[in-house]
Homo-oligomer: A and B are copies of this chain.
Amino acid sequence: MRILILGAAGMVGRRLIDRLLAEKTLAGEAIIAIDAFDVVAPDLAACDGVAIEASAGDIADEATVKALIAKRPEMIFHLAAIVSGEAEADFAKGYRINLDGMTHLLEAIRAQGENYRPRLVFTSSIAVFGSPFEEPIGDTFLSAPLTSYGTQKAISELLLNDYSRKGFIDGIGVRLPTIVVRPGKPNKAASGFFSGIIREPLAGQEAILPVADDVRHWVASPASAVEFLMHAATMDTDVLGARRCLTMPGLSVTIAEMIEALRMVAGDAAAARIRREPDAVIEKIVAGWPRSFDASRAESVGFAADKSFADIIRAHIAHIADAAKRD
């Protein structure tokens, strides 16, 4: 099996590649090649028996996408996107990457003709929903995004459904929760503090909490994100009917519950490194985000949430320890 990964240099993309190379098979077939594509070429180690080709380019360029599809990968993971803040700041760029990129991909596949119908796993987002919400948000609730990023994801979902219905692809879209704990340095994303209040205290550093303790959010671990993609790649998609995009199961947790889990796993000293510094701008942004979902449809077809927030923290600690060993 040949696998194409668009957006391979991102956090989820790199973890997915690690997992695929550890398995060396997917859906019972040997993985013979992985094309790892991103705007910068991913830095990948060689692997016995699997041809790994890292390349860089722009998915808004039609010819670039055509060339990737000309190799007729049986499995495609489309994880590439301009993030929400950037798509909001640069309207044209967001549409070019997040929408034209998807269109080029679908059209390149369709142009290959009848004997080619790859599985296409697409990472969508809960940003396809916009307030006012029903709570919890179910799978028949309107997509009414309040950002250009959410609009581009919602349109991509509609295209994925229609191209699947017409038999051009075997598509499935997974709406990821906010991924916590993201490794690495603090970033300026409005959602960054959800990871920061765990990651920094565990590293012995102070973390700033800009919102109230009763703020509730929908989260999943990086490991669960990879599990979602692996299950989406291998499951029977016939059970989805015409609605091929699903909200992934997450944990609906409050900040207070996150901090209590941190205290339980890492002690009072870690929890004490969180400094409360309310930020009205971030509070307002976060207040507009959905807080809880009914993901029973995804659960009924085999997707599973993290068991507890304490488990998410323990997995993060183990991952950091592994990475330190490899360095």
The residues of A with any CB-CB pair to B shorter than 8 Å are 91, 110, 130, 134, 139-146, 148, 151, 154-155, 158-159, 161-162, 165-166, 242-243
What residues on B are CB-neighbors of A110 within 8 Å?
Answer: 91
Known A-B contacts: A144-B242, A145-B162. Give 18 more (CB < 8 A): A91-B110, A91-B166, A140-B141, A140-B142, A140-B144, A141-B142, A142-B142, A142-B143, A143-B143, A143-B158, A145-B158, A146-B165, A146-B242, A151-B158, A151-B159, A155-B155, A155-B158, A155-B159
What residues on B are CB-neighbors of A145 within 8 Å?
Answer: 158, 161-162
What residues on B are CB-neighbors of A151 within 8 Å?
Answer: 158-159, 161-162
Indicate if the CB atoms of B140 and A166 lie closer than 8 Å: no
Chain copies in the assembled complex: 2
Tell me the smallest distance from the CB of A159 to a CB of chain B, in Å: 7
In the complex, the chain B residue whose C-beta lies closest to that of A138 is B142
What residues on B are CB-neighbors of A162 within 8 Å?
Answer: 145, 148, 151
Docked pose: A141 CA to B146 CA in angstroms: 17
- Name which of A130, A144, A166 has the most chain B CB atoms within 10 A of its CB: A144
What residues on B are CB-neighbors of A242 within 8 Å?
Answer: 130, 144, 146
Docked pose: A192 CA to B221 CA in angstroms: 53
Indicate if the CB atoms of B161 and A144 lie closer than 8 Å: yes
Docked pose: A135 CA to B148 CA in angstroms: 31
Docked pose: A152 CA to B238 CA in angstroms: 24
In the complex, the chain B residue whose C-beta lies closest to that of A106 is B95
What residues on B are CB-neighbors of A139 within 8 Å?
Answer: 142
What residues on B are CB-neighbors of A142 within 8 Å?
Answer: 139-143, 243
